A and B are shown apart, each in its own frame.
Chain A
């Protein structure tokens, strides 16, 4: 059933997203066209347009996630969603997975647009893009403690996992806030206002948790030829004397991962046992 829920959730959310990505594609086409025509004014206008679409895509993604969640569960569509032969947790899981996909798509889209705009304007001002890329690469190579290719790849994977956790954390906080705002305790208050209040209450509590976690000196140490763990002054999993390129505090991420599990469980229970569809 989860697969079917995900399929229909994608269909449902794609309607909100389709227009924005279509407009980006059209702008991209116009930019490629004016590049060869060499019309500077049009190039500037289309670059600004693509940048704006990119920003709008990020904002729309967030609003679409919030809007779809609220409308499909606690609006009239809730009469359909909550009478399907599935559990509240399955509904929540499908919405989280699809929302996560859209968040990641919008981030990948934003990064791609920034990179594209950089290369687009480099290509306009210089004849030799390759020499510029080589110069940047050589600069990075000469930086002290720069990780080797294998370590760099592992680091990217670790950072990607952290980004995933952050995105899921955000989605669960939003889902929890909207769900709590639809319980009996808040029935006399405007749902949107209640959701905002609950979100900020949760945000403050969890930020306090994150701040406490930041004081505990457990970090992921990315060195020239490997990744290890640094606890205070002790290094684990790395050769002695190895040069540390960068250290990333990890307790905050682990705390957020644990809270994600808690929020999923609590939100699922509230959905199944405490929410009344108006």
Chain B
């Protein structure tokens, strides 16, 4: 191993901070009044107020939108699963000592980072759609995970590099090969560092799925657009859509922070 590779493995990023997605509540803002609690209270109270005191059109709206919420979750979950697979491969590729693999993985990340997600969506859906016809949902999931796989790759890379090189040496000295070392020793430890940012990416991805409403996928936002274009109730519709996104992401960010805490407790034991 050359010195450079060695040096880069000695650098240990402790926190993987990808400043996207809803703010994850930290241990610090645990008080009675926190930004999270305030937003959550505001969102739920507004929703309740609208449903109780302005039943028309809000009750009709809330009955119309759940199909879209379901689709939003479907796109998000399929995309994140695929993105995790792509991310793991990309992360491994980025730390690979094989020049060719490394170059492919790095180039992929570079391209994805350089092209706006909306343009990537159009590209996969319309431009490539000229040659291969795939269902809308599939195109949406492929496009989203193609993009998020690159970000996820960076998360995996940082997570893997955060594990001390001594762990690899100990495993290799016992006779484990590269893959066994990764599977039995490195990934189970890296997972703890990786999981919170993956949760973060999940939330960011969920929000970004609203972009697929541009395609013919009936997600939450598109259902809203359908409703608005029939009823012309733009203000009411988008208020409702925004509130639903907000409540979902707030709940998810809370879950991620709980998970984060559990994991860190597990580490200190």
A interacts with B? no
